[in-house]
Amino acid sequence: MTPRVFVSAGEPSGDLHGAGVVRALKVQIPGVEVGAFGGTQLERAGARILWPMDRYTVMGFAEIVHKIPAHYRLLRAIKARFRETRYDLVILIDYPGFHLRVAEAARRAGLKVLYYIAPQFWAWGPERANRFRAAVNRFAVIFPFEAPFFADLGLDAEYVGHPLLDHAMPTRPEARRALGLPPNARVLGVFPGSRPQELGRHWRIFGDAGRALLAARRCDAAVVAATVAADYENPGDLMLARGDPHLVLAAADAVIAKSGTTTLEAALTDTPMVVAYRLHRLTAVLARRLIRVEWVSLVNLIAGAPVVEELLQREVRAPKLAAAVADLLDPSHPRTVAQRVGLARVRDALGGPGAAARVARMAAELMR
């Protein structure tokens, strides 16, 4: 009988990391059929896209409200699929608010569930763990501190490593050649985010900070990690790099980075950074009440110390951003040297590549 797996991603990062798992799973279980709620990365890996994720993806408490009806319709469709199709395993990737309900639907249908890039109970509090414990067979976690934390909550979790380590990063000479930047230029990278909500809150401020540093001659070039479709109003002297954001990270001497996976990618390329983030005001109020951790950047969370400076909400102003990153453009500055020591600790803690293969092995074990 043909083995069948359902994979649900929900957003671009999950689509990317899920694709690696599908490729590894097809090696471990030849002939496996994969259906998915996902995007182009999963499709290229060999999954059949049953529901395209780009119709549903949003971020933030306030922003998701207008997408709730669409998500309920999708959940009903997935429940029907679980009743009609025999799946040997359901693999859920990140996106916890929606995927908790998918996990519960899968277990009611008698299906096994593997959760990859698990909910951040350590940030939001452990209260929701009971529902996940009842719905999920195993968790594949990506940070070294998560496995013991999950075990204390009675959850079956295995540390598989971070999926970013499965992707090769360009070298600085390669990145600068690709972007047309001089080898000895002082380069600032600007990462305002890729989602419309992030760009709306970050672009003007991040751009003003980059222009200020150019005007003060603290850098020779300021390169924006730009998406293909987004509009960047009045970029001025800023260079828009509409392609692989890893090129910008590898080419930069320092970056202004929005909070999120970008901070880990910067750590992997040994790029000093200042981290900044603005949320919708309602989302920020709710987050302050719920978040249980001291820092928002993954770099600081993994290090357990303030390796990088974080600016949030009203602190995210162009003069403050420019001042925070200016010293980091100098590789010999004490702040730069100290931060690179911390970034090295983060890289050591993350271990080596192979996350996708380990998740595929866990999946194969559950299917047996």
pLDDT computed for residue 279 by the predictor = 62
> Does pLDDT of 240 surpass 50?
yes
* Residues 6+ away with beta carbon under 8 Å from 358: 140, 158, 160, 161
User: pLDDT per residue over 17-47, tens digit each?
Assistant: 999 999 999 999 999 999 999 999 999 999 9
pLDDT computed for residue 125 by the predictor = 62
pLDDT computed for residue 260 by the predictor = 82
Read off the pLDDT of each residue in 172-180 and give the average, rounded to a whole number: 96
Q: What pTM, to 2 d.p., does this model score?
A: 0.80
Average pLDDT score, the chain: 89
Phi then psi for residue 180, to 5 deg, are: 75, 30
Read off the pLDDT of each residue in 204-230 and give the average, rounded to a whole number: 95
User: pLDDT per residue over 85-140, tens digit each?
Assistant: 999 999 999 998 899 999 999 999 999 999 999 887 655 666 678 889 999 999 99
Read off the pLDDT of each residue in 321-346 and give the average, rounded to a whole number: 97
User: pLDDT per residue over 265-317, tens digit each?
Assistant: 999 999 999 999 886 555 444 445 445 556 778 899 888 899 999 998 788 89
The alpha carbon of 199 is separated from its chain's Cα centroid by a whole number of angstroms, namely: 16
User: pLDDT per residue over 80-92, tens digit each?
Assistant: 999 999 999 999 9
Long-range contacts of 328-332 (CB under 8 A, 24+ apart): 328/253, 328/254, 328/272, 328/273, 328/274, 329/186, 329/188, 329/213, 329/218, 329/219, 329/253, 329/254, 330/253, 331/253
pLDDT computed for residue 67 by the predictor = 64
* Structural element, H or E, at residue 154: none
> 145 or 37, which is more confident?
37
Which three-class secondary structure state does DSSP give residue 45?
A: coil
- All structural domains of the chain: 4-161+352-367 (3.40.50.2000), 172-350 (3.40.50.2000)
**In 10 A of CB 169, how many CB atoms?**
17
Percent of the chain predicted with pLDDT > 90: 68
> Does pLDDT of 61 surpass 50?
no
Distance from C-alpha of 356 to C-alpha of 17, rounded to nearest angstrom: 7
